[in-house]
Each structure stands twice: as C-alpha cells, then as structure tokens.
C-alpha cells in the first residue's frame, strides 16, 4: 500500500509531542492509578520504537488523538476518522465513539496554541513479565488539514482520503509489564 501522506511520520511526531510527554509521566504503584500509554508515541518513540513498559497489576489506558489549529478542524477530523484498534490481534469495539471533547492547549513556545481531542480506551492490567501487542490504523473518509504549515510551505498540508499511516500502518506498540520498583 502506498502512503497518501508522504510527510506523515514528521507530522504525527509533531502532533503527538504533547502525548509523548504525557506517556512519560511517572505513575504510582496503587491499583487505582492507571498507566497511560500513548499508542502513537510508543510506536514512534526514538529510543525504543514500538515498545514500552508499565507497572504490573495496573490498569492500562490506551491513548491517541488529534491536534489542529481550530476546534472546528479537530471536529472535522473526528468525523472523518475511522480507527481500527487491535489488542493481541483481537479487534476492539468501535473506538470512534470514545472521543473526548476538543480542548484548547495554550501556546508553549516553540509550539503554537492549538485544539486537541483524545480517545482513551482501557485494557486489563498485565501480570509481571507479560506483554500485549496493540496496533492502530486510521482511515480518513475525506480530505482535511490541521491548519498548520510544515517545512516552510505557505499553505497547510492536506491529508486523505485514505490510510493515514500508509506503508507504516498499522502502527504497533508492545506493552510489557514490569514489577514496581520499591
């Protein structure tokens, strides 16, 4: 399959910068403290691409989303996006109904202000030294953009219609449970 989105990796890396930071937040050992795993951040992590660890015995929340210049562009994306999520090769129910409301993210130089929305999907806790493989793919029903220009272009970059991750999709993240440190 050929990518309809030749700048996809760079764009997604930028768009999910905040989510990678979120995925790196420290978490406690209590069973009521879910472990947040950003699927895209994990798949494209520079140090350990496609792999992450969580504390054993903690619920896991799979997290992915979209950011754009305006609330309307985020809403347009949500309407056009059709995600396919699998956990250990098992298709999950329609995650497209799990979008949270778009929210505003203030400017944080060098990043401009933007709007964002997330999907959060819970999966069961893992026993120590066990793992789960999560894959994510995205089909866009129509052409859209996020309102930003890349590589000095004078106009926004458009995406779709088609498979967003192109030749890279579906993207994957192997989540492995480790014992909490004392």
Task: Tell whether 38 is covered by a domain.
Answer: yes
Host domain of residue 151: 8-178
Task: Tell whether 136 is covered by a domain.
Answer: yes
Identify the pLDDT of residue 182.
56
Q: What is the CATH number of the domain that holds 133?
A: 2.60.40
CB 125 within 8 A of CB 60: yes
Task: Tell whether 168 is covered by a domain.
Answer: yes
Task: Tell whether 3 is covered by a domain.
Answer: no
Residues of the chain short of pLDDT 50, as ranges, are 1-31
How many structural domains compose the chain?
1
Task: Tell whether 2 is covered by a domain.
Answer: no
Identify the pLDDT of residue 9.
39
What does the H/E/C string look like for the chain? CCCCCCCHHHHHHHHCHHHHHHHCCCCCCCCCCCEEEEHHHHHCCCCCCCEEEEECCCCEEEEEEEEECCHHHHHHHHHHEEEEEEECCEECCCHHHHECCCEEECCECCECCEEEEEEEEEECCCCCCCEEEEEEEEEECCCEECCCCCCCCCCCCEECCEECCHHHCCEEEEEEEECCCC
Identify the pLDDT of residue 151.
83
Task: Tell whether 27 is covered by a domain.
Answer: yes
Task: Tell whether 1 is covered by a domain.
Answer: no
Task: Tell whether 17 is covered by a domain.
Answer: yes
């Amino acid at each position: 399959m050929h990518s309809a989105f030749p700048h996809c990796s760079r764009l997604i890396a930028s768009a999910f910068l905040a989510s990678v930071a979120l995925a790196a937040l420290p978490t406690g050992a209590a069973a009521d403290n879910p472990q947040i795993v950003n699927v895209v951040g994990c798949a494209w992590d520079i140090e350990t691409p496609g792999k992450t660890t969580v504390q054993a015995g903690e619920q896991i929340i799979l997290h992915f989303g979209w950011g754009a210049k305006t609330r309307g562009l985020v809403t347009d994306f949500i309407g056009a996006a059709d995600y396919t999520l699998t956990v250990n090769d098992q298709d999950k129910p329609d995650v497209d109904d799990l979008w949270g409301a778009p929210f505003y993210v203030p400017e944080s130089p060098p990043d401009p202000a933007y709007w964002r929305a997330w999907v959060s999907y819970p999966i069961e806790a893992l026993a120590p030294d066990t793992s789960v493989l999560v894959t994510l793919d995205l089909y866009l029903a129509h052409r859209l953009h996020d309102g930003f220009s890349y590589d000095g272009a004078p106009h926004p970059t458009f995406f779709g219609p088609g498979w967003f991750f192109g030749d890279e999709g579906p993207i994957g993240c192997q989540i492995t449970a480790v014992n909490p440190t004392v």
